[in-house]
Chain A
Amino acid sequence: MALPKILQPSLTPDELTFLAEEERIDIVPLFSMTRVRLLGGIYGPFTPPSTATVPVWLALSLKRKRKARIVPPTWLNIESLQSLLSEEKTNAESFQRLPKRFIEISKVLLDVAPDDLQSPSTLRSLLKDLREVRQAKIRLGLQSEGVMRGSYLQVTNLTPLELTELKPFLVKAMGMMQALEPKREEEGEEGLGEYSQA
């Protein structure tokens, strides 16, 4: 009740984007302003030709007011995305480590500041390819034998957003598997102990 049911299983994509907006990014301001002191830190001064580092939400807010140009993060360009994609494809066994809050930040930047990126449409399709390659891997991984056995899964290098997609399903599936698994004696007793305490 206090927390709507839809929010309970895990963080929503919107909430993850909210968190991603706390990350730092460079901007080139188009106006001058002295420093501004916020709760998260002091940002500025903003003097047009030089860059300033601010949180993403601030950058987006300035961008929407046409008061700044966003300097895209180093990984958000065609070359590095292409190399990420090809590595992702060649390495079928594991996932590439992606920059922090990769999907969320690229999404908001493409939405709000496409004119600050080089050929946003190519970027968009590269990002989509990357996502699809990873999704295919996830699906394959889940089909493979033994993954769902027990209650443990290593998910290194999956992004929070991908995990958010997976978590409700996995949590439920693991619960079913645990319930179906034949109980060992000691486990049963442990469980009893816990409950009789309660």
Chain B
Amino acid sequence: MSFFDNEEEEDESPFNASVAAQPAEPIGGWSSAEGSSSRYNRNRASSLVSATESGIGSRSFLSRLESTVSPHGKGRSGGLFNQTQDEDEVGVGIDDEEDDEDELDDVSRMGKVWVRERGTVDVMRWEGDLIDTLFDKLEQQAKMVNTLHSDPQTSEEEHFKLVLVQTEMERVKFLVRSYVRTRLSKIEKYSHYIVLHPEIHQLLSGAELLHAKRYTELLHTHFQHSVLDSLPEWLRKMDDTYGDGLSMVTSPNKNVPVLIYCQKDCGEILLEGGESAALAKGTTHLVKYSLVERWVQLGWAEVI
């Protein structure tokens, strides 16, 4: 039984990861202005036209998300405090070096949320509020940029500022886009699992949940039409479990290690074989996701 993802490995090995990122392939309908981060590092002489175009393109996409943000559930963390933890230690002595979640501006928070989504195997809670705020701000900025650009009174200094504003907007858009795409890829991978587990639904936005359901439906219909219908009935199931306990439904493998940086003292975790490891504040660990899931969700351990 393979431990990491039930899907087959393709020849593109993870070792390629250190190769510089190539521009992501545009996916129809998802984004109009596509690019890898490197694009944003370049000194972009962004022409006004392309900037506004991409603004419009992504806004229609954004508003689609905006209208269907699900209430984020905290219910999932219900059993957390059964764990042994010294509550007195919470919030004690935060180094000036550590950033407290509340003090961060939206853009840095978005960055962290994005890194967390990228670093973990299962779908994290959809940060609807944060995304909403960012969209509102982006829209305001876009409006301001448009007004000032068309205004002949605008001074040269203002024009220069506009270039800076636009650069930042593109950076934020990249973050949001990559965040949504990361989630999309997870959701498609685990679509059947998501559909079968209602308790995960609260972690997804409305649009995401809808997509998961329809994607699963399409996939299954396709399999049925192309292959399954010609098989004997007992071979047609899509959610069978084999004799060795391996299910056909791809579920997030929580045994995949994650990299975490402990923002707070997270106590000790018990490893297999009876050993234990201390997750002291300010240390970094590579550890099975299932062992630190609760700390990640609490934000005590930051995924890097």
Chain A positions near chain B (C-beta within 8 angstroms): 1-15, 17-19, 21-22, 33-34, 36, 38-41, 57-58, 60-61, 64-65, 100, 108, 150-158, 160, 163-165, 167-172, 174-175, 178-179, 184, 187, 191-192, 194-196, 198
User: Measured between alpha carbons, how far is A33 from B2 in the docked complex, in Å?
Assistant: 59
> Could you tell me if B247 and A195 are in contact, using CB atoms closer than 8 angstroms?
yes
Select which of A14, A39, A158 is within 8 A of B41 by beta carbon.
A14
> Could you tell me if B14 and A172 are in contact, using CB atoms closer than 8 angstroms?
yes
> Could you tell me if B17 and A10 are in contact, using CB atoms closer than 8 angstroms?
yes
Closest to B273 in A: A150
> Cβ of B36: which chain A residues have Cβ within 8 Å of it?
12, 14
> Cβ of B106: which chain A residues have Cβ within 8 Å of it?
39-40
Select which of B10, B13, B41, B157 is within 8 A of A18 by beta carbon.
B41
- Give B58-113 interface residues, CB cut-off 8 Å to A: 97, 105-108, 111
Select which of B25, B245, B251 is within 8 A of A4 by beta carbon.
B25
> Cβ of B256: which chain A residues have Cβ within 8 Å of it?
171, 175
Kindly list 8 other residue pairs between chains A and B, CB separation below 8 angstroms, not including A65-B43, A156-B285. Answer: A1-B27, A6-B12, A14-B20, A19-B111, A39-B141, A41-B105, A163-B304, A175-B4
Chain B positions near chain A (C-beta within 8 angstroms): 1-4, 10, 12-22, 24-25, 27, 30, 36-38, 40-41, 43, 97, 105-108, 111, 115, 118-119, 134, 137-138, 141, 157, 160-161, 164-165, 167-169, 171-172, 174, 178, 181-182, 184-185, 188, 193, 196-197, 241, 245-247, 249, 251, 255-257, 259, 271-273, 275, 277, 282-288, 304
User: Measured between alpha carbons, how far is A2 from B13 in the docked complex, in Å?
Assistant: 18
Select which of A150, A158, A174, A179 is within 8 A of B1 by beta carbon.
A179
Q: Given A18-B37, A171-B4, A198-B193, answer yes or no on A39-B272 (Cβ-Cβ < 8 Å).
A: no
Select which of B184, B197, B282 is within 8 A of A3 by beta carbon.
B184
> Cβ of A4: which chain B residues have Cβ within 8 Å of it?
22, 24-25
> Could you tell me if A18 and B40 are in contact, using CB atoms closer than 8 angstroms?
yes
> Cβ of A172: which chain B residues have Cβ within 8 Å of it?
4, 14
7 contacts between A and B (CB under 8 A): A11-B118, A22-B107, A60-B43, A158-B284, A195-B245, A195-B247, A196-B241
| Nearest CB of B to A142, in Å | 12
Q: Given A160-B304, A167-B286, A169-B15, answer yes or no on A15-B272 (Cβ-Cβ < 8 Å).
A: no
Closest to A169 in B: B15
Q: Given A14-B38, A22-B111, answer yes or no on A6-B182 (Cβ-Cβ < 8 Å).
A: no
**Nearest 5 A-B pairs (CB), nearest first?**
A168-B14, A3-B185, A9-B14, A2-B184, A2-B185
Closest to B107 in A: A40
User: Measured between alpha carbons, how far is A2 from B21 in the docked complex, in Å?
Assistant: 15
> Cβ of B171: which chain A residues have Cβ within 8 Å of it?
18, 21, 57
Q: Given A150-B273, A151-B288, A198-B196, answer yes or no on A156-B108 (Cβ-Cβ < 8 Å).
A: no
User: Measured between alpha carbons, how far is A155 from B259 in the docked complex, in Å?
Assistant: 9
> Cβ of B107: which chain A residues have Cβ within 8 Å of it?
22, 39-40
Select which of A13, A36, A178, A191 is within 8 A of B20 by beta carbon.
A13
